Structure 1
Amino acid sequence: MIRFYTATLGCKINQYETRSIAEAWCGNSGRGRSPEAIAEKAVEVDDPSCADVILVNSCAVTANAVSDLRQSVRRFYRDNPEARIIITGCAAQVMGDDLAELPGVVRVVAQENKAELLAGPDAGGAASTADQGSDPVFMPFHISEYDRARPVVKVQDGCSHRCTFCIVPLARGRSVSRPVAEIENEVGRLLAAGFREMILSGVNLRHFGRDLLPRQDFWSMVAHLEATFAGQWAGRARFRISSLEPGQLDNHALDVLAESRLVCPQLHVSLQSGDPQVLKRMGRGHYSPEQALDFCDKLRDIWPEYGLGADLLVGFPGETEEQFENTMDVCRRLPLTYGHVFPYSQRPGTPAAKMTDQVDVPVRKQRAARLRAVVNEKKKAFLQHLGTLPELLVLVQDESGKGICEFYAPCRIQAGGCTLRPRSLVRCRPVELCSGVLQCVPV
């Protein structure tokens, strides 16, 4: 019996793929796999020092992500030098030879070959399953369980839009969509397993459906899930949408959200910059900041209260102080309730890394700090506002009462000795805001 430990760095898609591999290694046959496909069964352990195999699912989106990967692998080797360390994921795709030299590493599996691991820790040698010939193929990852209260449902992979700063197309290849029937089946499995909130996630949801027949888009898929599940699950389960591009924020989106009884009133937008010229240099000239502002104004007619997050990248090559201030202004005008602010990180192999007008690193960090201060003030004001609402619907994340409400705000349920069941939705009344967390009592 092989004992294995998994470590996931990076995005929700990595989390999903790790869980799918772990299910396969534990002998969960799932769709299209038989237990006999893995010659030697395995058991997952919580302590890497007890593991025979350590699987590290890596990220390469920033230099810090790669640094974290190296540190993690060295720590695993130091604490358990007998373990076989396998590295897969995006960093394995773009810098596999370097990672193979790290101590304890016995195998590096490129992202494009990650599905090989479904057959077991020692499987390998198959051809790439991600991008053979002219048409990329959706890898056969799927889940029936999850190690968190909110499972990810992967609906799309890869990206065909090459932003000048982004290494993701090099690491994950071109966009490929999951068939809607497979998405529907997985949502049904997770609902049957007791999950009451799931995250519809992809690398670039704007590209969903372009490669399917008949051609469709992300909002059509959401409408299909709504038609399939809302009759039974409205008010008892919910979907949360992962990061969207501003180019998706159109009238179709408004129509689908207006009819939805399952989608949480919260969106996360990959805005990146509030300056049109910076967006063009980023290769993101297909939308404008005004498009996001206009959509948010219209969305208020559908959702009187909603959470709004954004990804924001500052210090991009050539960004002037005036252009940065344009981003600050857009963020002040948007109804942001939180945000992820990153200083630009040069990634090898991307056009932006070769641009001559690089912003000094200290300036990048200083601008990130200034923008975070604006976002944090808006987050604090939103949490204070939520504290005045009569009721919130909180997903229980663990037995201690940690939870998250429909607006994507952190909560803590004070159950007064009553047992809280993780994965369940509980109607609560907010009573206090303490250290950025809404304290709530069941109603």
Structure 2
Amino acid sequence: MSESYTFYAATLGCKINQYETQALREVWVARGFSELDSAAGADFILVNSCAVTAKAVSDVRSTVRQLNRANEAAQIVVTGCAAQVMGDELKELPGVTRIVPQDAKTSLKTWPELKEGMTEPENAFPDFAVTNYNRARAVVKVQDGCSHRCTYCIVPLTRGRSRSRSIADIITEARTLLESGFRELILSGVNLRQFGRDLDGTPDFWDLIDELENALGKKWGGKARFRISSLEPGQLGSKALEVLSRSAMIAPQLHISLQSGSDSVLKRMGRGHYKTAPLLDFLEKLHDVWPTYGLGADILMGFPGETEEEFQETMAYVKAAPFTYAHVFPYSIRPGTAAATMSGQLQKKVKKERAKAVRDLIAEKKQAFLQKLIDEKLPLHIVLQSAKEKKGVSQFYTECYFDTLPFGAGLRNLCTGTAVESEKNGLRVISE
């Protein structure tokens, strides 16, 4: 290796991983390292891994093999959630010279002078921060870990207990990113329902939103926006409606960690702390705050013991809720979780068929929502993500494509357009 290292970073999984890769990138570049656009020629390669599903783990293996073929001389460093729970297996992959578990990821800031066994203090928020971002929409990490043990979820094993970032640090980072030109910031965490429980005064996530509005709304309201990454149904009540109704910066779109439309399945999942019916009531009231809004969900199909009746309950729920998109997954066994040893494991074929049925229904609802935006000619406020593809994302979280970019538009900018027809699973728009 040369004295000033070259590196390539491959990030798999969630927005939190993207954020942490960016934080490491900034530290390494400040130390004189150079990032390359491809693995070829890199001294070392970072693979920031995910383990949330069996497919995610399969993607880690295939990514490492592909990168090793591209550059057999490079040292491959695997970190992240998969490294936390299956490091012994991953270190046997070709080219892998180091496994850095998730709880030691911050030690990579001193690469290559790592100390074995160096981990984050148990209750500390991981020491990561960003001042820039390599995407058009920046992530602000506000929370990490999860102290709730859903029976199917491996995240508490990979990221540990819930820890919250200080509100002052969140505001400082958000202000820095806004002033550097970003016009959409994604407020992200592993479990936003648990934000603030470990902070003095026990603020919750909606208190954080109020604090951000108080600090930044006067200057940036109407000029930039926050997008909330993922919420639990139990967070959505009267306080949420009050905060959203007075917000000048929150994008009119929510993403719900629903998982199932059947209360009995939710109970087996270890998610009996909320019911499905109150969410429908909240969403109806939300129309008074946001007459039009985007709505997504995470939905897990084929959970152990899921009956035909419970499957139909989820189908009926998806029909009733105003979803505009969803991430639908067939259940996969995650080692070390309670659900892995439950009776009533469904055949792979059944899980895939049920997931497909929900996806097909969601696709219909998405097209209906896109048509509504076309018919009503609502102004779309679009953050430009790719000048080459003339592509961006609207406030409602719909993909938008310009025929001709607005004059002077650049990446990260907010542009205004009107939808004229559906295109590429999104909208073709004309600038205003």
Q: TM-score range by the shorter chain?
A: over 0.9
1:372 aligned partner: 359
Cα distance in structure 1, aligned partners of 2:278 and 2:39: 47
Give the AA of the match of 1:428. G
**Structure 1 residue runs of 4 or more that deviate by more than 6 Å after TM superposition:** none
Equivalent position to 1:408, from 397, 405, 411:
397
Cα distance in structure 1, aligned partners of 2:408 and 2:421: 21
Equivalent positions of 1:168-187 (< 5 A) are 168-187=155-174
- Shift, 1:435, TM fit: 2.8
TM-score, length of structure 2 as denominator length:
0.97
Structure 2 residue 258 is the aligned partner of structure 1 residue 271: yes
2:12 aligned partner: 9
Contact 1:432 1:440 (8 Å CA) reproduced: yes
Cα distance in structure 2, aligned partners of 1:339 and 1:329: 15
In the TM superposition, what whole-angstrom CA distance separates every residue of 1:279-330 from its partner, at most 9, and x where no partner exists?
Answer: 0000000001112111101101100000000000010000000001000001
Cα distance in structure 2, aligned partners of 1:98 and 1:77: 16
In the TM superposition, what whole-angstrom CA distance separates every residue of 1:228-250 from its partner, at most 9, and x where no partner exists?
Answer: 11100111000000010001001
Cα distance in structure 1, aligned partners of 2:300 and 2:203: 30
Structure 2 residue 91 is the aligned partner of structure 1 residue 100: yes
SS of equivalent to 1:429: strand
Equivalent position to 1:397, from 377, 382, 385:
385
1:301 aligned partner: 288
Structure 2 residue 422 is the aligned partner of structure 1 residue 433: yes
Cα distance in structure 1, aligned partners of 2:395 and 2:43: 40
SS of equivalent to 2:428: strand
2:197 aligned partner: 210
Give the AA of the match of 2:41. C
Cα distance in structure 2, aligned partners of 1:167 and 1:350: 6
In the TM superposition, what whole-angstrom CA distance separates every residue of 1:323-378 from its partner, at most 9, and x where no partner exists?
Answer: 01000001100000000000000000000000121011110000001110111100
CA-based RMSD: 1.1
Structure 2 residue 56 is the aligned partner of structure 1 residue 65: yes
Give the AA of the match of 2:381. L
Equivalent positions of 1:135-174 (< 5 A) are 136-174=123-161
- Give the direction of change, closer, same or farther, for the CA distance of 1:121–1:438 in structure 2 (3 Å limit): farther
Cα distance in structure 1, aligned partners of 2:80 and 2:424: 35
Structure 2 residue 69 is the aligned partner of structure 1 residue 81: no
Structure 2 residue 335 is the aligned partner of structure 1 residue 348: yes
- Shift, 1:186, TM fit: 0.3
In the TM superposition, what whole-angstrom CA distance separates every residue of 1:15-39 from its partner, at most 9, and x where no partner exists?
Answer: 0000000110001xxxxxxxxxx5x
Equivalent positions of 1:230-309 (< 5 A) are 230-309=217-296
Q: Between the two proteins, what is the percent identity of the paired residues?
A: 53
- Shift, 1:127, TM fit: 2.9
Give the number of equivalent residue pairs.
427
- Shift, 1:50, TM fit: 2.0
Structure 2 residue 116 is the aligned partner of structure 1 residue 125: yes
Contact 1:312 1:342 (8 Å CA) reproduced: yes
- Shift, 1:413, TM fit: 2.0
- Shift, 1:124, TM fit: 3.1
Cα distance in structure 2, aligned partners of 1:417 and 1:370: 39
- Shift, 1:420, TM fit: 2.4
Cα distance in structure 1, aligned partners of 2:328 and 2:334: 17
Cα distance in structure 1, aligned partners of 2:137 and 2:278: 30
Equivalent positions of 1:292-331 (< 5 A) are 292-331=279-318
SS of equivalent to 2:258: strand
In the TM superposition, what whole-angstrom CA distance separates every residue of 1:78-137 from its partner, at most 9, and x where no partner exists?
Answer: 111000000000000001111111111110000000010122344333631152xxxx11
Equivalent position to 2:183, from 196, 211, 216:
196
Cα distance in structure 1, aligned partners of 2:229 and 2:121: 22
Which 5+ residue runs of structure 1 have no aligned equivalent? 28-37
Which 5+ residue runs of structure 2 have no aligned equivalent? none
Cα distance in structure 1, aligned partners of 2:53 and 2:263: 23
TM-score, length of structure 1 as denominator length:
0.95
Contact 2:189 2:229 (8 Å CA) reproduced: yes
SS of equivalent to 1:215: coil
Give the AA of the match of 1:8. T
In the TM superposition, what whole-angstrom CA distance separates every residue of 1:34-59 from its partner, at most 9, and x where no partner exists?
Answer: xxxx5xx2111111112111000000
Contact 1:116 1:126 (8 Å CA) reproduced: no
Cα distance in structure 2, aligned partners of 1:322 and 1:149: 43
